[in-house]
Structure 1
Amino acid sequence: MIRLLDIILSFLGLFFLFPILVLLMLAGLFDTGSPLFCQTRVGRNKKPFVLVKFRTMKLDTASVASHLASSSSITPFGRFLRKSKLDELPQLWNVLKGEMSLVGPRPCLYNQDELIDARDQLGVFQVRPGVTGLAQVSNIDMSTPALLAKTDAEMISSLSVSSYFNYILQTAIGKGAGDRVKP
């Protein structure tokens, strides 16, 4: 049922938000010269996939988890995208392709060993990673790997259609601050 909702909602999102996506792409083109950010992440069953987002950081920023990046790397337009969570919209494509779900644990990088180990122990990689979830609306990010893995496992074990829509709604109205970045 969740996968069917993912397909329907991501298709509708891409269809109806297409004009906004184009405007954000153009703005991003003027901001950094390269509006999309693609990065290999850990997917379901630890299978790699390429996550797509709008670029929020300068082109020369190291490919590390957000909490390890410097806030000086974030462009002014990138700050707007992060605050509004519009930087996540291209992930609707990842959802439609089946690499992600709208709701699930945020996909980590392969160099985040502590988080991968903690998630592995709790079976978190048995589900598709998500655009949002309990950890995101609770302001828990990848800087606290054990807590994040525990929260992800808690969400997975209690996920229902109702909580699925609840996490999406909370994200849409601005709950959660996203991944923190070093000052």
Structure 2
Amino acid sequence: MSDALQHGYVKDFKEKRSMYIRIFKRIIDIVLSGMGLILLAIPMGIVAILIKIEDPGPALFKQKRVGKDKKYFLLYKFRSMKMDTPHDTPTHMLENPEQYILKIGSYIRKTSIDELPQMWNILKGDMSIIGPRPALWNQDDLVAERDKYQANDVKPGLTGWAQINGRDELEISYKARLDGEYVKKMGFGMDVKCFFMTIMSVIRREGVVEGGTGEIEKRKLKK
């Protein structure tokens, strides 16, 4: 292949990738999140009622997260923990996190049902369906690691490449590296792959470890 032909191929690929990220990815986000909110309205309502029955208080909670270009936004989730749980503290940093988790909370976390309200964040444009999971506003270590890979320069997602490769079990440095890998390969094919692999991970309930950041590495050290 001549240099001119190769250059033209690379330029065409970059233009198509840019068009997908700027236009088609957003259209897909709007369509799928809108459909999801409509089709899952009744099941989500039932989940909200069950949460309030077990532990009176709001079924939803808002949490400040880091968005594209490190701008903050309010992320919505179903409340899976008791009202007296320390606020804005990552689960892995809580002492004995199991004491705070609701009975229904354990189930909706393992099945990722607690993340469904984020379809509203996607519809609003705060998030995308696929992308790095948004860090808490005070997770400076994760944000700093992601800066190394330009992973803070894209919209965070409901699920992403790191989530299907270990999720809660990953060390922060490795998680950020996977987020950077997604940014490099970002495109329709990569998003489709992440979407369907996420479905399989949810069905298998893989990678959800309460208080478990770095569990993969810990298991290696024990061997």
After TM superposition, is the score higher than 0.5? yes
Q: What whole-Å deviation, never above 9, does each CA across 1:82-108 have from its counterpart, x for those lacking one?
A: 111111100000000000011100111
**Which residue in the other structure is 2:194 paired with?**
167
- 2:206 is matched with which residue: 168, 177, 181? 177
**Do the aligned residues in 1 keep the contact of 2:110 with 2:208 (CA within 8 Å)?**
no
Q: Percent identity?
A: 36
Please give the residue correspondences for 1:66-85 in structure 2 after superposition, counting only pairs within 5 Å: 66-69=91-94, 70-85=97-112
Q: What is the TM-score with the length of structure 1 in the denominator? A: 0.92
Deviation of the 1:177 alpha carbon = 3.3
**Do the aligned residues in 1 keep the contact of 2:69 with 2:152 (CA within 8 Å)?**
yes
Please give the residue correspondences for 1:126-137 in structure 2 after superposition, counting only pairs within 5 Å: 126-137=153-164
Quote the Cα distance in structure 1 between the aligned partners of 2:67 and 2:26. 15
**Do the aligned residues in 1 keep the contact of 2:110 with 2:205 (CA within 8 Å)?**
no
1:23 aligns with 2:46: yes
**Do the aligned residues in 1 keep the contact of 2:67 with 2:155 (CA within 8 Å)?**
yes
Deviation of the 1:157 alpha carbon = 1.2
C-alpha RMSD of the superposition? 1.7
- 1:121 is matched with which residue: 148, 159, 166? 148
Deviation of the 1:32 alpha carbon = 2.2
Partner secondary structure for residue 126 of structure 1: coil
Deviation of the 1:178 alpha carbon = 4.9
Partner secondary structure for residue 110 of structure 1: coil
Structure 1 residue ranges without an equivalent (≥5)? none
Single out whichever of 95-104 and 26-35 deviates more from structure 2. Answer: 26-35
Quote the Cα distance in structure 1 between the aligned partners of 2:27 and 2:93. 35
Partner secondary structure for residue 152 of structure 2: helix
Deviation of the 1:65 alpha carbon = 1.3
Larger RCO: Structure 1 or Structure 2 (Cα < 8 Å, ≥ 6 residues apart)? 1
**Do the aligned residues in 1 keep the contact of 2:30 with 2:122 (CA within 8 Å)?**
yes
Output the amino acid matched with 1:180.
V
Equivalent pairs, count: 183
Runs of 4+ in 1 over 4 A off after TM superposition: none
- 2:73 is matched with which residue: 44, 49, 53? 49
Q: What whole-Å deviation, never above 9, does each CA across 1:116-175 have from its counterpart, x for those lacking one?
A: 111112211111101101111111438622111110010121122232122222222325
Structure 2 residue ranges without an equivalent (≥5)? 1-23, 213-223
Deviation of the 1:112 alpha carbon = 1.2
Give the number of the structure whose alpha-carbon radius of gyration is greater.
2
